[in-house]
Structure 1
Amino acid sequence: MCRSLEHLPLTCLERAKELKARFGSFLMKQELNMGLSHKTDKLTLEDREKWSQSFHYLLAHKEGLCAFRAFLSSEYSEENIAFYLACEDYKSTKPCSKMCSKARKIYEEFICTDAPREVNLDHETKTITSKNLENPTFTCFKVAQSKIYTLMEKDCYPRFLKSTVYQELVAQHAGQATHG
């Protein structure tokens, strides 16, 4: 995808990237409204408290992941969790013959310069990942995925815990407890 768009003026690429991100955010918010509104009744206070104690637990919990994605969408950084999840999915690719095309797709969507959902990686990590794609294995995105996980854990996750998305979920439980 990146190579076919190289001939376009930079402003067109930037605009296309922005529109895709905004449209993706809109869809994610709709998904959150439809998905979480029915599930918050089943969330316990213990679940929500565990989300605040462990980023790993938040991502492992379906509703926690959905809430975190909605938060990232509101900050226009949903590409981070999308990349992380794409890497998780890639690790389970079968048959191995599909690894090369799947790896290339992830690279073109998230890592290459001017990718439509480019994640924030340093030059060295991009170079390592690019080199790993010459002979894709299940670990070819390990370094890049680890960097994005750490970025989300150290930067986005603390903001999520202070966000209205999370605070409203906690408040919903408090409201349910007083009415239940």
Structure 2
Amino acid sequence: ICCFYRSPAAGAMAWSENMDTLLANQAGLDAFRTFLKSEFSEENVEFWLACEDFKKTESREKITSKAKMIYSEFIVADAPKEINIDFSTRDLISKNIAEPTLKCFDEAQKLVYSLMAKDSFPRFLKSEVYRKLVNSQQVGNHKRWLPFL
């Protein structure tokens, strides 16, 4: 049986499989952020990451303070990194921010994830940033056939 050997450097190719693979990899996340910055839309991934961090918060005081920080940075109208979400989602968060729960940003996070997956992620895979990463890894990754695997 003959099998293809993949070096660990083949990571960039794997990112194209789905956005979760990309976001779970620090190098992939860094490359995606660089791309989003070039498109002036890095607030989406920054909001998504802030929500992921927020969901791990354990103390009541930190839940309240982190929720207010996320709200003022991404949700409130004219926020410094305002995300593009519909009025009803924004309104629901505004009503719940006084007594936030770990789920208070879930709907907005799903919307932003969906927007990135349908719009930014496919453009990233066609971008120069991504192409250069894949090409640099392919040059350094001599493909070998290992008949003993």
Q: How far apart, in 1, do the equivalents of 2:36 and 2:101 lie?
A: 29
**Higher mean C-alpha deviation, range 97-106 or range 77-86:** 97-106
Tell whether 2:115 aligns with 1:151.
yes
What whole-Å deviation, never above 9, does each CA across 1:57-102 have from its counterpart, x for those lacking one? 1001111111101110111111110010011111111312221121
- Kindly provide the amino acid, as one letter, of the partner of residue 116 in structure 1: P
What is the percent sequence identity of the aligned residues? 49
Higher normalized helix content (fraction of residues): 1
Match of residue 6 from structure 1: none
Q: How far apart, in 1, do the equivalents of 2:26 and 2:96 lie?
A: 31
- Kindly provide the amino acid, as one letter, of the partner of residue 95 in structure 1: S
Higher-Rg member (1/2): 2
Aligned length: 138
CA root-mean-square deviation: 1.8
**Which runs of no fewer than 5 residues in structure 1 stay unpaired?**
1-41
Equivalent of 1:48 in 4, 9, 12: 12
**Displacement of 1:44:** 2.1
Q: How far apart, in 2, do the equivalents of 1:148 and 1:78 lie?
A: 11
SS in 1 for 2:28: helix
Q: Which of 1 and 2 has higher RCO (CA within 8 Å, sep 6+)?
A: 2
4+ residue runs over 3 A deviation: none
Equivalent of 1:124 in 72, 88, 105: 88
Higher normalized strand content (fraction of residues): 2
**Which runs of no fewer than 5 residues in structure 2 stay unpaired?**
1-6, 143-149
2:9, 2:141 within 8 Å by CA — same for their partners in 1? no
**Displacement of 1:130:** 1.3
1:129, 1:143 within 8 Å by CA — same for their partners in 2? no
- Kindly provide the amino acid, as one letter, of the partner of residue 40 in structure 2: Y
